[in-house]
Structures are given as structure tokens and as C-alpha cells.
């Protein structure tokens, strides 16, 4: 980490921070798609489509074509859903990073510099869950450029958030990460975060057993 520097966000970082966030999420599209394909529910859907097409056409080739078309549509829908989420964030908290994270009490946004290049981000804000407010802060918008991963940047950013919360008297740091973000899960668990809850943002995701893990870190006085 000696060649990397973590500092508070500045307005000149705006485009870089938004791009790192968006690109980082888009990288997960293939993993999300393959996870959905691995579900038994998806297997049954594709098998049913194949059988219906075969009964209607008596053509194996046509039936495979129908299944192929469904796979293409599934990939398109996966990307569209991801793009909708990303655009919602870019139009939401990431539209006014300063106002959202630097001008609100006990919130912050950091970037990681490598030379003059911004290569990572993380933010901290108040949890959406009312019962956690006043006790916990939420880690959000963690992302590191692909070519700079594996150098301990994510752990350093996480420690930055934990220290920030501790200095302000908070007892916990919470965060959410999806089932396919296995690298992030390993980082958080290695640092003492515990998985405490599973949520399904949408009914379709619940049917596909695609869930979000909620993690919590208990801040010790000696951290």
C-alpha cells in the first residue's frame, strides 16, 4: 500500500469516482447471469420451453433455437437490470457526492490515489434501517479498479471506515453485498465482519434465491 494514498474526496474526483463505481458493478454481470443459469428454477423453465416448442413444431432445431433465444433475452435482461441499478445510483447519491457524503454529519467519501490516478473509492453514511441509526454507520460504494486489486486496498479502505465510525462514537459498521461478490465477502469476513441477515430486494430475486448478505462489524474500544 506504500504507493497508494487514501484521501477525502475532492470535486476533481467526480468523474473518476462515478466511473469506478459503475464499471465495478458491471463487472459482476457475467457472474450474476451464470448464477441465475445454475438455479434449478431456470433449468425447469428452459426444459419446459424446449418441450413446448418441440410439441408445437416437432423440430429439435427449432426447440434449441427457442432455448437459445431465451438465454439471449436473459443476458440482455441481466445487463438491463444492472444498468438500471447503476443509473439509479448515479442519479441518486452519486450525482452529488459532496452534498450526500461530505456535507452531512458523520458521512464521508474517500478515494485511493496511485500517482495522480484515482483507482478506488469507498463511502460511509447512515444506515437505511432505522433501528441501526445512531448506533451504526453503513459502508457503501466500495470499488477498486481491476488492475489494482490484490494489493490490500479494499482492506485499507474498510479500516478507514471503521476508524471513522469509532472516532465518532459508533458501535458498528454495517454493509450489504450480493451472493456473487465472493471476493468482497472474503475480505469482510477476514476483517471480522459477521453475516447477520439475508435480504431479497425483489420477488423475482427471491424466487431465484439471489440474495444480498448483510454484514455487521462490532467496533471494539481498542480498535
Show the domains of the chain with their CATH numbers. 1-223 (3.40.630.30)
pLDDT of 115 higher than 70 = yes
Q: Cα separation of 93 and 99, whole Å?
A: 8
Mean of pLDDT over the chain: 92
Q: Cα separation of 154 and 15, whole Å?
A: 20
Q: Which three cell numbers stand for residue 33?
A: 447471469
Tell me the mean pLDDT in the region 79-90: 93
Q: Which three cell numbers stand for residue 137?
A: 454507520
pLDDT of 90 higher than 70 = yes
Question: CA 205, 28, 159, 148: dihedral to nearest 10 degrees?
Answer: 180
Q: Cα separation of 29 and 113, whole Å?
A: 26
Q: Cα separation of 184 and 122, whole Å?
A: 13
Of 204, 203, 217, the residue nearest 175 (C-alpha): 217
3-state secondary structure of 94: coil
Q: Let me know: does 121 contact 20? Beta carbons within 8 Å.
A: yes
Q: Cα separation of 30 and 32, whole Å?
A: 5
The whole-number pLDDT of residue 144 equals: 96
pLDDT of 221 higher than 70 = no
Structure confidence at residue 128 as a pLDDT band (50, 70, 90): confident
The whole-number pLDDT of residue 133 equals: 67
150-181 pLDDT per residue, tens:
999 999 999 999 999 999 999 999 999 999 99
pTM (global) more than 0.95: no
Percent of the chain surpassing pLDDT 90: 81
Which of 6-10, 39-43, 138-142, 204-208 is the least confident region? 204-208
**Torsions phi, psi of 143, nearest 5?**
-160, 140
Q: Which element (helix H / strand E) includes 170?
A: none
Amino acid at each position: 500500500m506504500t504507493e497508494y494514498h487514501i484521501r477525502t474526496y475532492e470535486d476533481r474526483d467526480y468523474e473518476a469516482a462515478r466511473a469506478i463505481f459503475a464499471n465495478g458493478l458491471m463487472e459482476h454481470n457475467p457472474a450474476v447471469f451464470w448464477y441465475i443459469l445454475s438455479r434449478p428454477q431456470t433449468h425447469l423453465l428452459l426444459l419446459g420451453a424446449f418441450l413446448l416448442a418441440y410439441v408445437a413444431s416437432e423440430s429439435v432445431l427449432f426447440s434449441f433455437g427457442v432455448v437459445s433465444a431465451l438465454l439471449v433475452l436473459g443476458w440482455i435482461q441481466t445487463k438491463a437490470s444492472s444498468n438500471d441499478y447503476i443509473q439509479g445510483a448515479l442519479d441518486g447519491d452519486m450525482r452529488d457526492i459532496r452534498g450526500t457524503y461530505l456535507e452531512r454529519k458523520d458521512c464521508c467519501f474517500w478515494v485511493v490515489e496511485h500517482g495522480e490516478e484515482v483507482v478506488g473509492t469507498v463511502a460511509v453514511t447512515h444506515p437505511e434501517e432505522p433501528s441501526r441509526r445512531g448506533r451504526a454507520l453503513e459502508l457503501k460504494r466500495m470499488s477498486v479498479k481491476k488492475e489494482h486489486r490484490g494489493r490490500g486496498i479494499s482492506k485499507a479502505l474498510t479500516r478507514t471506515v471503521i476508524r471513522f465510525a469509532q472516532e465518532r462514537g459508533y458501535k458498528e459498521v454495517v454493509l450489504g453485498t450480493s451472493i456473487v461478490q465472493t471476493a468482497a465477502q472474503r475480505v469482510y469476513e477476514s476483517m471480522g465482519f459477521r453475516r447477520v441477515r439475508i435480504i431479497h430486494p425483489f420477488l423475482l430475486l427471491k424466487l431465484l434465491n439471489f440474495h444480498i448478505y448483510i454484514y455487521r462489524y462490532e467496533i471494539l474500544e481498542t480498535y
